[in-house]
Amino acid sequence: MKKLDPTKMHDWEIAGEAESAMKTIDQLGDELGIDKMELMPYGHYVGKINYMLLDKRLGHRPRGKYIVVTAITPTPLGEGKTTTTIGLVQGLGHLGKKVIGAIRQPSGGPTFNIKGSAAGGGLSQCIPLADFSLGLTGDIDAVTNAHNLAMVALTSRIQHEFNYTDDFLKKRGLRRLNINPKTATMGWAMDFCAQSLRNIIIGLGGPTDGFMMESSFQIAVSSEVMAILAIAKDLKDMRQRIAKIIIACDTAGRYITTRDLEVDGAMTALMARAINPNLMQTIEGQPMLVHAGPFANIAIGQSSIIADRLGLKLADYHVTESGFGADIGYEKFWNLKCRYSGYAPDCAVIVCTIRALKMHGGGPQVLPGKPLDPAYTRQNLGLLEKGADNLLAHIAIVKKSGATPVVCINHFYTDTDEEIGLIKGIAEKAGARVAVSKHWEKGGKGAAELAQAVIDACAEPGGFKFLYSEATMLHSRIELIAREVYGADGVEYLPEARNMIRKIEDDPELSRLHTCMVKTHLSLSHNPLLKGRPRGWTLPIRNILIFGGAGFIVPVTGDINLLPGTGSDPAFRRIDVDTKKGKITGLF
């Protein structure tokens, strides 16, 4: 394998070279101590782990150290959180530690749009890149199909109940559910960004073409089915949760579930293989588990509990990824995922870049697909110091949970020693460890300082605690998250949201569900244009969704869509196939 230089090579070129020296999936399994029957190969270099068999054999083994990677509020370009997760795994490996990582599977939406894949970058990537980026072992397809099968069951049932008599339905073993078509709580799912499908009308034509009604699409990874994949403890738990998915109401206002439509078993059948985590590797050969999906702004956005459970049994250090900044992804890791799993982190890594902090200090707008303004590649300590307020907010969020924070300065070659020194001093004064990591440029060797800081942090005693108790009322939870995490002065409810709050809090079963916020990732507030650490603002709640299967109440803040749009210069324009070698080119 030739020398890999990320300053002169595209990510897909680096991945292509590294793939020539990959370990086979059997080698990875042997190194981890996974038996042949516990490993399900998908070709030579990718496989699934049969979690049932491995759980049964390793159930007695004590867990390793648990590290979660989060970040500051990013620019629209992202600040390298996945790259840092992979780099930290490589760095711990470089220091001789037995380590495994867990990251989320990339969605086809960003992969073919502006942001690109989520395989890392430079010399810290998850490979093979094309398999990782283009469907992997079919988990997102399974989520999409299970979600859409629920919609098939709903829409066909509405059509048949509208067109046929009770006797006709009874002869087919069906009872009339009296579904109100205007109350459908979910639409269709697809794994692309397609703004033209956000609001649609279906059933055009005659009576045999379905019932005409308003509907919608959402991106597949925002589906409640994906949330269930992320939090399910086992197949039985997944089966029970899928049966509780609320899909509409009847004419009396009673919730209609997938169990009522008798589609829950078939949905679980579609997901039965997807519940097993995928096994891949870093460029340097450390094992990576890939499971569940991204988008912590509109979903839970966490790598799965099952992947973390296996990683904690298979290694001395397990590094897991949490979506976007500490205000979104880490808050959900803290108050949702850890509550479901029973695990507490030994350390939380907060990724920041000089670039993003300058933006938060008032730097020029950062736009995807556009060249960076020179302000971001030239030293400007004034912008940087002002923007550090955003970093301080994220350190405070992590400390509020009782976890030990480690700030990772994801190093760009344009960063100066003075800029690095300024951020180090500010973060250390706030009570965080700080490390500079050059994993993008130098791989595991470049992440050694970060890895050592994490090892030291994990040796400290923890004091992890949830933000609220399970007995806390929904409106109080929302208020706590808004004030204590986002920094809002208070909460304002639109009438529809206020009515839903009352309905939920009056229902003994629904009031026990947990809280999963939907909020922009581009600001601590609900407004993506408010950078830094906004003060003197109120959080608007415009809608409340119920994810009965996942066990979430989902407050929706600001103006945010469950189906992103495709930009004017999408990544699919550069993705192609080398027809002589059969290699995918242009992925990033």
Superfamily of domain 11-137+274-458: P-loop containing nucleotide triphosphate hydrolases (3.40.50.300)
Burial of 454 (0-12, 13-18, 19+ CB in 10 A): buried
Pairing of strands 47-49, 39-41: antiparallel
Burial of 169 (0-12, 13-18, 19+ CB in 10 A): middle
Closest alpha carbon to 411 in 367, 352, 342, 467 = 352
Query: What pLDDT is stored for residue 587 in this prediction?
Result: 86
Query: What pLDDT is stored for residue 477 in this prediction?
Result: 97
CATH number of 139-271: 3.30.1510.10
Distances (CA, A) of 276 to 23, 337, 563: 21, 18, 27
Q: Tell me which residue has tokens 């951020």.
A: 423
Q: What residue type is 468 in one-letter code?
A: Y
440 classed as catalytic? yes
Query: What pLDDT is stored for residue 1 in this prediction?
Result: 59
115 classed as catalytic? yes
83 classed as catalytic? yes
104 classed as catalytic? yes
Q: Which fold has domain 475-557?
A: Formyltetrahydrofolate synthetase; domain 3 (3.10.410)
- The catalytically annotated residue of 70, 75, 82, 83 is 83
Query: What pLDDT is stored for residue 59 in this prediction?
Result: 80
- The catalytically annotated residue of 48, 97, 115, 519 is 115
**Do 4 and 17 contact (CB within 8 A), yes or no?**
yes
Which stretch of DSSP H or E encloses residue 83?
A: helix 81-94
Query: What pLDDT is stored for residue 55 in this prediction?
Result: 87
Q: Write out the DSSP string of 116-135.
A: ---SEETTEEEESHHHHHTT
- The catalytically annotated residue of 324, 333, 537, 552 is 324
Q: Tell me which residue has tokens 């800081």.
A: 453
Would you list the domain boundaries of the chain? 11-137+274-458, 139-271, 475-557
168 classed as catalytic? no
- The catalytically annotated residue of 104, 332, 477, 533 is 104
Which stretch of DSSP H or E encloses residue 504?
A: helix 495-505
Query: What pLDDT is stored for residue 221 in this prediction?
Result: 93
Distances (CA, A) of 408 to 195, 251, 453: 35, 54, 9
324 classed as catalytic? yes
- The catalytically annotated residue of 48, 65, 81, 313 is 81
- The catalytically annotated residue of 112, 440, 547, 552 is 440
- The catalytically annotated residue of 399, 412, 414, 498 is 412
157 classed as catalytic? no
**Do 349 and 71 contact (CB within 8 A), yes or no?**
no
> Is it true that 11-137+274-458 and 139-271 share their CATH fold?
no
pLDDT mean values, one per 10 residues, the chain (588 residues):
83 91 96 95 97 88 95 92 97 98 93 84 95 95 98 96 89 92 95 95 93 95 96 97 97 96 98 98 98 86 96 97 94 97 97 97 88 91 97 98 98 94 98 97 97 97 93 96 98 95 93 94 95 97 94 90 87 91 87
Return the ∠ at Cα 173 (arms to 168 and 175), rounded to 5°: 75
- The catalytically annotated residue of 18, 146, 150, 296 is 296
